[in-house]
Structure formats: C-alpha cells, structure tokens
Amino acid sequence: MKKSVLITPGDGIGPEVTREAVKVLNACARLAGLTLSLEEAPIGGAAIEAAGNPLPPEVLNKALAADAVLLGAVGGPRWDKLPMVQRPEKGLLAIREGLGLFANLRPAKIYGDMAGASTLKPEVVDGADLMVVRELTGGIYFGQPRGITEKDGRREGFNTMRYNETEIERIARVGFQTAMRRHKRLVSVDKANVLEVSALWREVVTAMAPEFPEVTLEHMYVDNAAMQIIRAPKRIDTLVTGNLFGDILSDAAAMITGSIGMLPSASLGEGRGLYEPVHGSAPDIAGLDLANPLATILSVGMMFRYSFDLPAEDDRINRAVSAVLAKHRTEDIMASGKTPVGCARMGDLVVEALERG
C-alpha cells in the first residue's frame, strides 16, 4: 500500500512537534509495510512570509492531492496586528473549509499513569476517556453576515451563528456513529434555552435518535457541559457539538489529561483527513526543545486509523506512548519520579518503544 502525506508544520512549536511526529509516521509505516511519500508546504505565518497568503492556493492544491495532511500549529505575535482575513489562523480555517473537513474528532483520555498530571483530582480523571465531535466548517466561525461597521457614530462588531438541517444532520451522524464504536452514549451540546440555532440543532439530533436505537442520547446546555467535563469526566463518552462550543469544550477536556500537549485531533470530511494537535503554536517556548510532541504523534495514530484504515497502528502508537510516559515526561506533564526530556528525545523514545513492540 502507498500513501501520500502533506506535512504543513506552520509556526511556533509547529515545526518541532511535526518533526517528531514524522519520525513516528515513518517508523510506523515501516512496521506496517506502508510506502509513504511525504511533501512539506508552509501554512499560517510561515506561508505569509513565504507567499504573502496564510494558505497559498498551491498549498491547498497539494493538500487536495494528498491522502492525508499532518499540520503543526499556526499563529504568533508577529502576525497579531494583521487584519482578520490575513491572519495565520485564516490559513487553518481555509484548509478546513477547502478540504470540506466538517467533522473534528478530539479524544481526551488518560494515557498510562498520567492521572497525577491533571490539575483535577486523580480519582476524578483516572480512567477518563471521552471523545469530542466538533462541527468544523460551519456555525459562527463561518456564518455570514459578519464584520465591523459604523453605527450611530460608534463601531459595532457582529457575527452570525447559523446551521442548516443538513449540516446538523451530517455532524450528528458522525456523533452517533462514533458513539456506536465506543460506549454507545452520546451527549449533544447546545444552548437551546437561548439560541434558535440551538433549538433547531436539538430538534434535528432528537429526530435522528431512532436510527441509532442502541445509542443513549442526552442533551446538555453548553454551560452545564463545561461544568460536567470538569466535575465528572468519566460520565461522558461521546459529545457532539457545534464549532464554537466544540472549540471551547475541547480545551476544557484537555485538562483531564493534564496538558493540552496530549490532545490529538482528526478532521474528516468526505475524502482525505487532516491531523493536528489541539494545542496552538506556543510562541513562548518555540525553538527551545520544550514542547510536548505527543499530541501530534497521537494525531499520526489517528491518521493510520481514519485515513489509512489501519487501526492496529493507532493502537500500536497509543501503546508506545503509554510505555514511554511510564518513565519519561516533557515539562508540561512532569511528575516526581519521572525523567524530564525535551521534544526531540520524546519523539525518539516513542520510535524506540514502537520498534520494541
């Protein structure tokens, strides 16, 4: 089998974490007998510098031609003053939209003996394993109209949260299907007590439930969901929600694992997938070999599962990560009795653990 992967390292710690993830990608492909062809292209701030555009058309075309994309992170203080449409983040939003990646899977779980690394009590998080299914190409992130206008002599900013039935149905379907492969419990998150867009969301999701009789469906308001994720994360199996709520709740869910440096993600649509860590570009630690590459490494695992249909390789990467964490930690997840390591060493350790089997 042969697969092509486009690597878009991006900005800040993006290049260092993707470098380690590519080591793991190559090692795992070797073990699986998969032939890879890798190509690299800039995105975000790096692409603004190289081509004056956070997602140059030729980079999107390369992504469209690849079987999968591995992305690092985008953004940094250097580009913070640019107008919204020219910012590095626009590159990320544009590649998600351009590839039609409407479903974003963000698993948050405890690897090995990591419960102590969480800021939450170990007994609250030990054994937690939840999956956030976030809608990624709609909602308030993309809704029109939007802008900043002048009204009665003062400026006014506005955005629009909108979802049509088709968009709700296709993400809810991914939610139900994901729950079916897990513990068959689905929480749909909305703000139906205040927002019309959420009232429709709830109605559409409820109407689909009979198609999935084995799945227990529960609805939660987003404020309550934020609380439940922190209060009793083990009670949540699969959670499906819109773009903005999913952005916020997946950062909250990250704290179960102790660090956002542990959260991988897969963005899926009808064709190829894009894999990226949930964390950002962390400009304050960029280039210092301090970043945790595990979120990106685990994203490679998700690539094997969802784009290459090789779930055993994802399991293999997960086992290797758990084994490494038993002794070695990057600074963000450091605990007493463990050996501190940098980003590059962490990548090498995962490759060694993979090869040991």
Q: Could you give the CA distance from residue 330 to residue 219 in angstroms, rounded to a whole number?
A: 37
Residue 10 or 293: the one with the smaller Cβ distance to ligand IPM is 10
> Is position 247 an interface residue for Mg ion (rule: CB under 5 A)?
yes
Binding mask 262-281 for ligand IPM (x = CB under 6 A): ----------------x-x-
Q: Could you give the CA distance from residue 126 to residue 114 in angstroms, rounded to a whole number?
A: 8
In the annotation, is 247 catalytic?
yes
In the annotation, is 221 catalytic?
no
Instruction: Say how many Å lie between the first and final Cα of the chain, rounded.
Output: 21
Residue 16 or 247: the one with the smaller Cβ distance to ligand IPM is 247
Residue 279 or 305: the one with the smaller Cβ distance to Mg ion is 279
> Is position 20 an interface residue for Mg ion (rule: CB under 5 A)?
no
Q: Which of 34, 38, 40, 89 forms a contact with ligand IPM (CB under 6 A)?
A: 89
Provide the 8-state DSSP code for 327.
Answer: T
Q: Which of 6, 17, 92, 298 forms a contact with ligand IPM (CB under 6 A)?
A: 92
> Is position 108 an interface residue for ligand IPM (rule: CB under 6 A)?
no
222 binds, among ligand IPM, Mg ion, none (CB under 5 to 8 A by kind): none
In the annotation, is 284 catalytic?
no
From start to end of the chain, where are the E strands? 2-10, 35-40, 68-73, 103-109, 129-135, 147-151, 154-158, 185-190, 216-221, 238-241, 266-268, 273-275, 328-329, 339-340
User: Shortest Cβ distance from residue 230 to ligand IPM (Å)?
Assistant: 18
Residue 135 or 247: the one with the smaller Cβ distance to Mg ion is 247
> Is position 167 an interface residue for ligand IPM (rule: CB under 6 A)?
no
Beta bridge partners of 150: 155
Short-list 232, 237, 246, CA closest to 215? 237
Phi–psi pair at 306, nearest 5 degrees: -95, -30
Residues within window 234-263 making contact with ligand IPM, judged by CB under 6 A: 247
Q: Tell me which of 111, 141, 163, 275 is the catalytic residue.
A: 141
Q: Could you give the CA distance from residue 7 to residue 18 in angstroms, rounded to a whole number?
A: 8
341 binds, among ligand IPM, Mg ion, none (CB under 5 to 8 A by kind): none
Cis omega before residue 145 (within 30°)? yes
Are the C-beta atoms of residues 240 and 177 closer than 8 Å to each other? Answer: no
Short-list 259, 237, 248, 266, CA closest to 129? 237
Catalytic residue list = 141, 191, 223, 247, 251
Binding site for Mg ion (CB under 5 A): 247
Binding site for ligand IPM (CB under 6 A): 89, 92-93, 247, 278, 280
